[in-house]
Structure 1
């Protein structure tokens, strides 16, 4: 149908808590029907693509595992690029461990090249102590993302960024973050779809990650107001989305591609 493709955030774009957001099912069904390339991007390193597929199926969204690119997967792509024969010590679970195993990347507790920090609920001071000394001995500190908090059904919990901050303070070393808004993850996602910069459209609900990362790479950007950001919040940011919609239900693929031409950027739906 077009030469465009989509990168989409999930929480706040497709669903909010346990509720599907208006128009999400129709929008995703249209992408599949019209064979428009798309990837879901998430800064949560815990779930695997299969976990996310099951999660969306519960919302009535039937998509294959090939449509997910997590910060855990991006982190492994980064490690393979920097040191394909390297080793890593991991604070995290689920998605990041699976991604490392799938890539046959070495996981060790002895003199690793990298210390990887992702989401998890099994953190303890022993693992932080081990990681601290590894970093002081030369291991590079890598964050799957720098989100300071993660939403839960009960409110929030400390995110990966909060854990990384403790190690940064304890070691005096700065982490390299792979997840959004890192250009590494977002550029890698674009390449996975085989799109050029001008053909890529990022849809997100968070200015600091989704919109900032895409804006800095020159992608077309769409902010939906169904998640973390209100119109009033936009005054805080020097960069602005190309288009703004209340939710995916207000976004019509049929007329969208014409509206994202350069002369129509920074307009509002």
Structure 2
């Protein structure tokens, strides 16, 4: 059979909070044994690929840094192609900063080509004001993702999309987003897998990002019910996944894994 590859969301698919989802480690081990390419696809720009690798290793999933693909990586690669050696004013944490530096995008708090927004706790109103002025002077507004909030142990906190909304409202400019469900991120990740569109599985727990992105790209979309979506929720959407499973361990029954 022609090469098959997997794009895997993380929170709600591989782990929930600090707990590994039952069977996730066994599934990844099977992919490795079968030499089936896979990438962890995350809309979290805070952590670098190395940080995510370390987190997974500590949870008992031994993977390489090259198995991780973040929205920060997608953002940095896209900008480096659009404007090689460009510059950016960044509202975000080290994962985003590192990805930009790796792609020769310089930090610039005077007259940047872009204002790039990611998640993080380091932003303040002075940064929002500075970014607003830069955008009004011509800097292009880029969002690593438009997720309105992020899960935390005791609930949620504002996400990248919430910060971007402030800048969009203040400037009247719409952000260009790179994270799921952006086709830019999905296409770049598939190319890194090295497999054809029809042989790409997208496994996720969120209809509005993982599943719609997979559907629009022509990937085989798999919804797991171990995260934030219930089976009853499917009636609210005009699109549906190719498969619905309780958790990732149910995919062990796929013929390509046996």
TM-score normalized with structure 2 length: 0.97
What residue number does 1:265 align with?
A: none
| Cα-Cα RMSD | 1.3
Secondary structure at 2:77 match in 1: helix
Q: Which runs of 5+ in 2 are unaligned?
A: none
- How far the C-alpha of 1:75 sits from its partner, in A, is 0.3
Q: Which runs of 4+ in 1 moved over 2 A?
A: 253-258
CA distance in 2, matches of 1:33, 1:230: 31
- Once the two structures are superposed, the pairs formed by residues 197-208 of structure 1 within 5 Å of their partners are 197-208=197-208
What residue number does 1:261 align with?
A: none
CA distance in 1, matches of 2:183, 2:235: 24
- Once the two structures are superposed, the pairs formed by residues 46-125 of structure 1 within 5 Å of their partners are 46-125=46-125
- Once the two structures are superposed, the pairs formed by residues 161-240 of structure 1 within 5 Å of their partners are 161-240=161-240
Does residue 241 (structure 1) correspond to residue 244 (structure 2)? The answer is no
Number of matched pairs: 258
Q: Deviations over 1:114-153 (max 9, x none)?
A: 0000011011110000000000011100000000000112
Q: Deviations over 1:176-214 (max 9, x none)?
A: 000000000000000011111101110000000000011
Secondary structure at 2:40 match in 1: strand
Contact 2:30 2:257 (C-alpha < 8 Å) held by counterparts: no
Q: Which runs of 5+ in 1 are unaligned?
A: 259-269
CA distance in 2, matches of 1:188, 1:249: 26
CA distance in 2, matches of 1:184, 1:257: 28
- How far the C-alpha of 1:94 sits from its partner, in A, is 1.3
What residue number does 2:252 align with?
A: 252
CA distance in 1, matches of 2:119, 2:165: 13
- How far the C-alpha of 1:105 sits from its partner, in A, is 1.4
Contact 1:2 1:36 (C-alpha < 8 Å) held by counterparts: no
